[in-house]
Structure 1
């Protein structure tokens, strides 16, 4: 096996490929589920839509801001490189550690389990209820093995070269984009009812929390402080459904004309997904009474909507197939891009040395397999859901620090060529920093059981950094 240096990365991904990685990594199962929690938390159609629009606007601002950084440093590792250049290797390591320990691998595990659960819906023998072993109080079920098999299959494909990964990504992302557009169009044409739409918008801006008590929906008006807490809970879901757009920056070394195409892909991908997410929620409001959105069985709003559009049997199967396609394509993008962070960390002497090697297909094969093994262990642990809830706080913090880096680099590195400048600088990046920091603070106040451990995961990287400096020289 030949060992290649970074300049052996082959720039074979076009603008379309890069855009499909952005959109495909963002769209998983969240759009079919998260609206239920948002509806319960906010209590009205206007505020529910407001949370999705806010998430979309915030994501777009962040993506447009990252365009400047991607033009300055079009290298493998993306956001890790931006943090290293704007600050120092220590801050970059904290990001890389959190990505490997929880964010990237935890997301891969959660998406793989969603894939397996819906595959189990079509074939119950492959589902969670089929428990195979019970070891030391830990139940191993068939869905976990299916999830791990999907991770290993996609990892193997991606170790055989970026061209294989990009084919899967483009095919699956186009398929799920057209499927979602189709669901939205069919919903608005076949399933929409004027009386449902009008009733949902009758008190569109009355904020309230909704709870189910003895089969009855209880509405409790939100005080100003409770309203902020509801926003924090809602944005945790909508932002996470819109996350992973930054993954395209990790594979900058394999994108053609990265100085321009990464910024373009970030905008196009996030814009397409934002339009789809907002349209899907408008369709839900046209098809389902508000309380049926809020209290959809197991939060499966997409299934409830599809059943109203196509009928019970066909609707449920339609959404199950859409989620299987969506999650498989989503994980391909996450797996493909994640290992490039570990590659760059290894080059800096801050990760396992072999992760900094490219295999004969010019991809970081060792890093891909390390990622696969850890993500698979998270699948077996059953704790990936808790981990993901914890790290949305860390995700926001690193986005804020990265975008703040634009201001720093404008002063410290004014001579570095910028093929693309942050849109609306300095106003829009500053607005993002204020909004994202506010949300992080709200999460600390109103969701401390998740945010504080999330902060702890980041801080755990401090001793690990010095250990890495010592052991991996």
Structure 2
């Protein structure tokens, strides 16, 4: 194996990068949250406006990341940007939280979405949800072990299949001949508690995940030009797709039908073609979940490479296999994700978590209140995620002031308005997630404390680890298309 300091040859094209963005962002939310968004907005035009606004705010963030990625084309994304802008300790705590709960929690959510819909399609395997969730993580992990070429091929195939399934919904929206359905024949709405503000939160979550793509920047061909373009075109295309899908939903189902639907994509297919659509919906969601898991594993292990390069204690994460895979970094990410499935995704695991927290004298969560295990975990980690997202937006402004001499191949348009809009939207999401999670945030206290302690211990430990090269001290890398 070789170290990450040996330049990795360019492997990801513009199309590969777009596929990765599409695969990570378009998960299961677009199949589930539109009814709640329409119910909260109070009308069709208002709902479409919220989806458009969410896309524009995501684009503001993508433009900010485009400048940062072009300025620092290294592995790590936010870890690197936060280290550069606010110091190594902030960067390490971010990476620690991503590795232990945030990224692995998101992978867990997608794995159980896969398991749930597999059980709906084949009821006889429904009782094996834990094994199905583990398999949904292990299979994409196996693709990654086979190498970068196999991993990106799998991502492209999954993204193409996902795009085809969404195209079916759009075709239904065009083909459908509207007919009146009495409101009394529709099921009762279960989302009457939604508000416009909460609908906006749901929309921004549906656009989430695009920032993970910046973690693979060095492996993108001509990364200083390609990454900003991919982020811009990727988010722009997803925004258009989301708006068209919502128009198709409301055209086929009507406003009243949509807000009462629990599976709008399946209902659209069923009403247009008059077929049983349960298996169609299951296939769509399972495909989307696998694509998102594959993308998060692909990008996430590159974050561990960045940490390993900066911290000798984790130097093994910088070792690459001959097939261009950060082998031990991927093993670590897979291991933590599978442990999370066991601990958070099973009743016995959650009982164990409760016992540990009670022993420490800390708050124990009501797992059922927020859905189930991973939904509770995501709610608890959301304030931390949006807090770091806010700092990433601020890093654009901080680095403009503190490092004006650095080359910036891509500049954020309308600076400083664009970063300020991104920061404001992230602050709003931070406040909303705190208001939603409330005392759940206490669950993250032990992880934060451990991360902060490690950030200080690793830097000041007497074994000399602080003398090693650090990402925050490395010069900006050359564009990866210049690598031999």
**TM superposition score category, shorter chain reference:** 0.7 to 0.9
Partner-residue secondary structure (3-state), 1:289: helix
What are the residue-to-residue correspondences of 1:66-77 with 2, within 5 Å? 66-77=65-76
Q: Which runs of 5+ in 2 are unaligned?
A: 346-372, 466-484
Q: CA deviation at 1:379?
A: 2.0
Q: CA deviation at 1:232?
A: 4.1
- Name the residue aligned to 1:208: none
1:348 corresponds to which of 301, 304, 310: 310
Sort the Cα spacing of 1:274 and 1:453 in 2 relative to 1 into closer, same or farther, 3 A. farther
What are the residue-to-residue correspondences of 1:402-441 with 2, within 5 Å? 402-441=392-431
Partners of 1:76 and 1:322 in 2: CA distance:
32
Q: Does 1:88 align with 2:53?
A: no
Sort the Cα spacing of 1:169 and 1:219 in 2 relative to 1 into closer, same or farther, 3 A. closer
Q: Deviations over 1:333-382 (max 9, x none)?
A: 11111011111112111763322222232321111111112111222322
Q: Does 1:365 align with 2:327?
A: yes
Q: Which runs of 5+ in 1 are unaligned?
A: 131-141, 201-211, 223-228
Partners of 1:110 and 1:345 in 2: CA distance:
25
CA contact (8 A) 2:172 2:248 kept: no
Q: CA deviation at 1:117?
A: 1.8
CA contact (8 A) 2:14 2:221 kept: yes
- Name the residue aligned to 1:205: none
1:336 corresponds to which of 298, 312, 324: 298
The count of residues paired between Structure 1 and Structure 2 equals 433
Partners of 1:103 and 1:410 in 2: CA distance:
29
1:445 corresponds to which of 430, 435, 438: 435
Partners of 2:299 and 2:222 in 1: CA distance:
18
Partners of 2:139 and 2:44 in 1: CA distance:
41
- Name the residue aligned to 2:270: 307
CA contact (8 A) 2:201 2:432 kept: no
What are the residue-to-residue correspondences of 1:208-357 with 2, within 5 Å? 230-296=195-261, 299-313=262-276, 315-349=277-311, 352-357=314-319
Partner-residue secondary structure (3-state), 1:410: helix
- Name the residue aligned to 2:173: 187
- Name the residue aligned to 1:30: 29
Partners of 1:374 and 1:446 in 2: CA distance:
26
Sort the Cα spacing of 1:218 and 1:97 in 2 relative to 1 into closer, same or farther, 3 A. closer
Higher strand share: 1
2:147 corresponds to which of 145, 161, 168: 161
1:376 corresponds to which of 331, 338, 360: 338
CA contact (8 A) 1:443 1:451 kept: no
CA contact (8 A) 1:103 1:391 kept: yes
Q: CA deviation at 1:158?
A: 0.8
Q: CA RMSD in A?
A: 2.7
Q: Deviations over 1:294-353 (max 9, x none)?
A: 332xx322222222223241x222222122222112211111110111111121117633
Partners of 2:434 and 2:166 in 1: CA distance:
34
- Name the residue aligned to 1:119: 118
Partners of 2:174 and 2:448 in 1: CA distance:
44
TM-score, normalised by the number of residues in structure 2: 0.82
Partners of 1:169 and 1:312 in 2: CA distance:
30
Partners of 1:118 and 1:370 in 2: CA distance:
27
